[in-house]
Amino acid sequence: MSTPDSMPVSNAGAIAHTGSYYAASANDKVQRSALNGDTTADVCIVGAGYTGLSSALHLAEQGFKVTVLEGSRIGFGASGRNGGQIVHSYSRDIDFIERHYGQDTAEAMGSMAFEGGQIIRRFVGKYGINCDLKDGGIFAACNDNQMKELESKKALWERYGHTELELLSEAGIENHVGSNRYVGGLLDKSGGHFHPLNLVLGEAAALESLGGTIHEGSRVVDIQQGDKAKVITAKGSVTADYVIIAGNAYMEGLIPKLEQRAMPCGTQVITTEPLSKQMQQELLPHDQCVEDCNYLLDYFRLSGDGRLIYGGGVTYGAREPDRIEQIIRPKLLKTFPQLDKVKVDYAWTGNFLLTLMRLPQFGRLGNSVYYAQGYSGHGVASSHLAGRVIAEAIRGQAERFDAFTGLPQPVFPGGRLFRVPLTAMGAWYYNLRDQLGF
């Protein structure tokens, strides 16, 4: 797992997180030691984010000896920078899978589509993870066509057994969101939100309590396959029966074959100063998280200490934009003009991995190396599901894992040179449709 050039390192050798609100309020700031020397494990995992640690926890609970290698810090990538929202299903919903890949595939995928949030809640409860977990998520419709799509989503999800849903009229959503921007919405009572970095740090501590090992600052430079796989860093190696590649958008060339199938993209987030109790009640009286239904969506929620966390926008190719606050603050004020005098304390960007079909990519490289990547902006719940189904496959129960491997994984058109402008053109088209209300 590569260390980005921009990753700050102190003179003492400590690796810093990005300058986010999450990093500033992390429960655990202790850096684990780097791998030094050669060791063995049943399973070696590359990447200490949600995919890697969900895999590690599920395996360690079954008695596997697990070692996790992280190129920078636990949760350094999307797992520690995201909006902190539990959103069910996949970036392409189950009806897309039905139309393009058949009912059998849709049934298999649909049966797992609402499992990720349950896994998160199980980890939080079982291991006592303090991450400000709260219930309830809202999809907010900006126009009548989006509201019709939410009505269809409710019927679709209920058909696949997910019934904790409530349609909100225009008056109804105003009871949940202190904004006149929306014409209605869909409340998912089993959705929710949390402090994402504290969740992944809690999962890391849970793994260590089960005897698992995590090495930070241990960038993987090569993986050699044979009867056993050998995962090599600058100062050591891990020989293991199985390897799980879980670096997602932060692999940077370790497996070029996988890199060709997806593209890193950035999203930007800002966090306000703490708001008064009165203002919190005015903005989000039920303390639920919200995302709108635009292609380039906005998302927001309150933090555990009463700040508004607001994200949106996409930069293709993982470019880190300048002046993040100037990009996101106008979006925040369009939703909540009453915050025009509020100070922004934190602004940051983080990368997610976009696939051409906007569906996650699971698979094997040879007999012993597994991977999961490309959640396309829907990774919080899906990555936790990925960990469970990869662990099942390693234990010899691969049916659910193979439902994902049967999905196509086309190479991004245009190669490294043209995939960014081609994708940006497509996003421009869909964003224009949103603005015109189509």
Output the pTM of the full model.
0.92
**pLDDT at residue 419, as a whole number:** 46
Does 200 map to a domain? no
**pLDDT at residue 411, as a whole number:** 86
Does 274 map to a domain? yes
Distance CA 299, CA 177 (A): 12
CATH code for position 268: 3.30.9.10
| SS3 of 125-147 | HHHCCCCCCEEEEEEEECCHHHH
Does 269 map to a domain? yes
Distance CA 387, CA 401 (A): 10
Residue 271 belongs to what domain range? 134-193+263-355
Torsion sign over Cα 44, 48, 52, 55: positive
Torsion sign over Cα 153, 158, 161, 165: positive
Does 393 map to a domain? no
Does 322 map to a domain? yes
The total number of structural domains in the chain stands at: 1
In angstroms and rounded to an integer, the radius of gyration of the C-alpha atoms of the chain is 21
Residues 6+ apart with CB under 8 A from 21: 271, 303, 307, 309, 345, 346, 348
List the structure tokens of 399: 């049916």
List the chain pLDDT tens, one digit each, 438 residues: 333 333 333 334 689 899 999 999 999 999 999 999 999 999 999 999 999 999 999 999 999 999 999 999 999 999 999 999 999 999 999 999 999 999 999 999 999 999 999 999 999 999 999 999 999 999 999 999 999 999 999 999 999 999 999 999 999 999 999 999 999 999 999 999 999 999 999 999 999 999 999 999 999 999 999 999 999 999 999 999 999 999 998 887 899 889 888 888 888 999 999 999 999 999 999 999 999 999 889 999 999 999 999 999 777 655 566 789 999 999 999 999 999 999 999 999 988 888 889 999 999 999 999 999 999 989 999 999 999 999 999 999 999 999 999 999 988 765 554 444 444 434 433 343 444 444
The CB density around residue 10, as the number of other CB atoms within 10 Å, is 8
Distance CA 311, CA 363 (A): 31
Distance CA 189, CA 179 (A): 20
For the chain, the straight-line distance linking the first and the last C-alpha, in angstroms and rounded, comes to 41
Most distant CA pair in the chain, distance: 63
Distance CA 405, CA 134 (A): 33
Does 148 map to a domain? yes
Distance CA 268, CA 247 (A): 20
Does 295 map to a domain? yes
Does 335 map to a domain? yes
The CB density around residue 420, as the number of other CB atoms within 10 Å, is 19
**pLDDT at residue 179, as a whole number:** 98
Q: How open is the CA angle 26-32-34, to the nearest 5 degrees?
A: 140
Distance CA 55, CA 246 (A): 9
